[in-house]
């Protein structure tokens, strides 16, 4: 996400590196490069022009402290302006209503139906809501089936009328159903097209008029760049939607849509989709996104993801075992499962400041723990609790069962032993300090 833009901006700031002070000439040179970087990332031309003008005005109007280098100051100004460009602050979803109604809109292929499932899952698991998903795509039978499959996966009911071709009537009936069955959120998935057409616009406008939703979310594929912005404008002119959802931000996207869409339609980006899994959804935070674009990581989001998986009872149990030097492979396996729940490993690593750039060309697969898990699962319960009993014949059996070799197993045993020692040292406060 944003890798190429991050690299280009970094190169732009190097123009100021080594300069004693900020001048109109070196700022103009830097910003010329910044503007080109934005345009190459498929940012709207008007947006890129306005952005660089605002950065120049801010940079030239600032008193440069002797302790701050000109390139560092420019990074700060660009960061703050990027955050403002994307909305400045996070805007939450409106879930007030009995029930609260959320209308999904967007083109076919934007990830609208999948996002409906992700949103229902988020509202159920994080906000304690009881959602109902509604299949109002009367043209694509596969859309109804897709929504039902998603509903089964996240245990959320789906309202559909496969034989009814009146999308407005289906939406109205679904709301009556929700009121009777105690659903406090109704998420209406609508039909998409390959391009904006009058029939689609009339239908979704009619659904809006009939059900009066609290939220109208426009779902857009961030990989479509500038086209996404144009489509968003057309939808907004007709629907006056309340927020934007950017999907496929984990793909090879140049980021133009994320940076342009807010300034063009003047509606907040509320969510981003960052993968195919049903929990791969994040609230959109402009400040954090600016951090990531400029290669500063996103440690706040990383901590939040860790806290979501935090289990106080489990933490106390593990701490006691570490103190007694009883931390075993069963505990290790539990820790791995918690890490996996946090999301894509490369995305997690890129949130650590300075790491994103270092691992840009490194392929970290989601199954990075596969061999480790296979080895542990090939051990008997007794061996997991007592790894010191692993002799030659036991090791051979484990390797055979896990499809690994003896070197892999010995490496894991050494890493596990080192980790166990370090955990004890950290807990006891005996971790050696680096001496200067």
Q: How confident is the model at residue 153 (pLDDT cuts 50, 70, 90)?
A: very high
pLDDT reading at 351 higher than 60? no
Under 8 Å between Cβ of 171 and 133? no
Least confident of 39-43, 151-155, 357-361: 357-361
Exposure of 369 by Cβ count < 10 A (0-12 exposed, 13-18 middle, 19+ buried)?
middle
DSSP character string of 212-257: --SEEEEEEEGGGTHHHHHHHHHHHHHH--SEEEEE-TTSS---HH
Mean pLDDT, residues 42-66 taken together: 73
- In angstroms, the CA 415 to CA 328 distance is 13
DSSP character string of 76-88: HHHHHHHHHHTTS
Would you mind telling me the total number of residues written for the chain in this entry?
436
pLDDT reading at 53 higher than 60? yes
Under 8 Å between Cβ of 272 and 22? no
The contacts of residue 92 (CB under 8 Å, 6+ apart) are 270, 283
DSSP character string of 62-120: SPPPTTS-HHHHHHHHHHHHHHHHTTSS-------STTEEEEEE--TTSSHHHHHHHHH
pLDDT the model gives residue 354: 46
Least confident of 22-26, 43-47, 76-80, 353-357: 353-357
In the chain the domains, ranked by start, together with CATH numbers, are 3-85 (1.20.120.140), 100-294 (3.40.50.300), 306-428 (1.10.260.30)
Exposure of 17 by Cβ count < 10 A (0-12 exposed, 13-18 middle, 19+ buried)?
exposed
Coil, helix or strand at residue 422: helix
- In angstroms, the CA 217 to CA 106 distance is 8
pLDDT the model gives residue 358: 45
Percent of the chain with pLDDT over 90: 17
pLDDT reading at 132 higher than 70? yes
pLDDT digits (tens, 9 = 90+) for 159-182: 988 888 899 999 999 999 999 998
Take residue 277 and report the two structure tokens written for it: 């899994």
Coil, helix or strand at residue 156: coil
Task: List alpha helices for 379-405, DSSP H.
Answer: 381-385, 392-402
- In angstroms, the CA 12 to CA 141 distance is 50
pLDDT reading at 330 higher than 70? yes
- In angstroms, the CA 194 to CA 106 distance is 10
On average, the pLDDT of the chain sits at: 77
Least confident of 139-143, 179-183, 392-396: 139-143
Q: For the whole prediction, is pTM greater than 0.75?
A: no
Greatest mean pLDDT among 216-225, 265-274, 374-383 lies in: 374-383
């Amino acid at each position: 996400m944003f890798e190429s833009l991050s690299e280009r901006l970094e190169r732009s700031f190097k123009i100021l590196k080594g300069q004693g002070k900020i001048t109109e000439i070196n700022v103009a040179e830097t910003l010329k490069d910044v503007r080109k970087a934005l345009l190459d990332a498929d940012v709207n031309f008007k947006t890129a022009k306005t952005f660089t003008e605002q950065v120049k005005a801010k940079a030239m109007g600032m008193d440069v402290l002797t302790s701050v280098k000109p390139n560092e100051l420019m990074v700060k100004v660009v960061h703050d302006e990027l955050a403002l460009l994307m909305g400045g602050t996070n805007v939450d979803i409106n879930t007030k209503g009995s029930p609260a109604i959320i209308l999904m809109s967007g083109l076919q292929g934007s990830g609208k139906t999948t996002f409906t499932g992700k949103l229902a899952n988020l509202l159920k698991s994080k906000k304690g809501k009881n959602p109902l998903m509604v299949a109002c795509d009367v043209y694509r039978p596969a859309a109804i089936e897709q929504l039902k499959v998603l509903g089964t996966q996240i245990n959320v009911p789906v309202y559909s009328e496969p034989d009814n071709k009146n999308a407005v009537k289906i939406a109205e009936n679904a709301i009556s159903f929700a009121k009777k069955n105690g659903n406090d959120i109704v998420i209406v998935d609508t039909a998409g097209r390959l391009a904006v057409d009058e029939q689609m616009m009339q239908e979704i406008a009619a659904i809006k008029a009939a059900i009066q939703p609290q939220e109208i979310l426009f779902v857009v594929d961030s990989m479509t760049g500038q086209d996404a912005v144009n489509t968003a404008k057309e939808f907004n002119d007709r629907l006056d939607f309340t927020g934007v959802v950017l999907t496929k931000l984990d793909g090879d996207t140049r980021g133009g849509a994320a940076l342009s869409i807010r300034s063009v339609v003047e509606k907040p980006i509320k969510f981003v989709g960052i993968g195919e899994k049903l929990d791969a959804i994040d609230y959109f935070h402009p400040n954090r996104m600016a951090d990531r674009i400029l290669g500063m990581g996103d440690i706040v989001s990383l901590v939040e993801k860790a806290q979501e998986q935090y289990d106080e009872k489990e933490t106390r149990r593990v701490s006691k075992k570490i103190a007694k030097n009883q931390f075993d492979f069963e505990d290790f396996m539990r820790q791995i499962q918690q890490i996996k729940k946090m999301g894509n490993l490369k995305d997690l690593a890129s949130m650590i400041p300075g790491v994103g750039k270092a691992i840009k060309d490194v392929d970290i697969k989601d199954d990075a723990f596969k061999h480790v898990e296979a080895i542990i699962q090939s051990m008997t319960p007794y061996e997991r609790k007592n790894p010191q009993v692993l002799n030659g014949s036991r090791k051979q059996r484990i390797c055979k069962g896990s499809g690994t070799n003896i070197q892999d197993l010995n490496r894991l045993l050494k890493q596990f032993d080192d980790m166990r020692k370090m955990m004890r040292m950290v807990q006891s406060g005996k971790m050696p300090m680096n001496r200067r």
